[in-house]
Amino acid sequence: MEDLKAIVAKNLVECRKAAQLTQLQLAEKLNYSDKAVSKWERGESLPDIAVLYELSLLYGVSLDYFVHEHSRKPAVRKDKRRRHAIVSVMSCLLVWLVATAVFSVLRICGVEGKLWLAFIWSLPATSVVCVVFSCIWGNRYHRAISVSALIWTLALALYLTHSVQYMWLVFVVAVPVQALAVFWFLLRAQKTK
């Protein structure tokens, strides 16, 4: 049994390093503490089968890979982060393409008014896209930044859209919402430890 723990530990370390992840980054992706990941990699304990399965999906190896010795390092997809970044950027650009199309169509049809608001409203839409992708692929820091961007771009869009006397108060409302978001992320960070 000790040999199996040592083999699994060695393979976990090699896969994590091949994926260019720190123990903390891996722990965040799995919603475990970095201490648990460290114990797995030292062979003090083994992750359960559900975690091993999740790791196999993350590293692009079979579940069986972890329990056998290998002479070569795992062929983990190193371009995974790059691909995620490209998909995220393309999705954000798609939002701006839609905003440009809306602006252009309204301009061609002769509509007058604040057509530039199409671009202003694409800011919170882009933030929503960033929140979604940071929840799927990012860590808690990416999520916190994305949620903050959503709060403030939404406040800005509302302020610029409506010409009401006290519309600036939308920024005052955004302050406690931002504080709630910060406390939420701090609470989640302590919960994962």
Q: Print pLDDT tens along the chain (193 aa).
A: 568 888 888 888 888 888 888 888 888 888 888 898 888 888 888 888 888 888 888 888 888 888 888 766 655 555 677 888 899 999 999 999 999 999 999 999 988 888 999 999 999 999 999 999 998 887 788 899 999 999 999 999 999 999 888 999 999 999 999 999 999 888 877 765 5
pTM of the model: 0.61
Whole-number Å distance between alpha carbons of 78 and 83: 10
Q: Which two tokens stand for residue 150?
A: 């959503």
Q: Which two tokens stand for residue 13?
A: 């370390």
**Residue 58 shares a structural domain with residue 87:** no
**Residue 86 shares a structural domain with residue 161:** yes
Dihedral sign, CA of 183, 184, 185, 186? positive
Q: At which residue do the structure tokens 């671009």 appear?
A: 119
**Residue 123 shares a structural domain with residue 147:** yes
pLDDT digits (tens, 9 = 90+) for 117-143: 999 999 999 999 999 999 888 778 889
Give yes or no for a contact between 33 and 27, defined as CB atoms under 8 angstroms apart.
yes
| Neighbouring residues of 160: CB distance < 8 A, sequence distance ≥ 6 | 114, 117, 120
Give yes or no for a contact between 66 and 56, defined as CB atoms under 8 angstroms apart.
yes
**CATH number, domain with residue 48:** 1.10.260.40
**Residue 107 shares a structural domain with residue 183:** yes
**Residue 44 shares a structural domain with residue 116:** no
Which residue segment(s) compose the domain that 46 sits in? Answer: 2-67
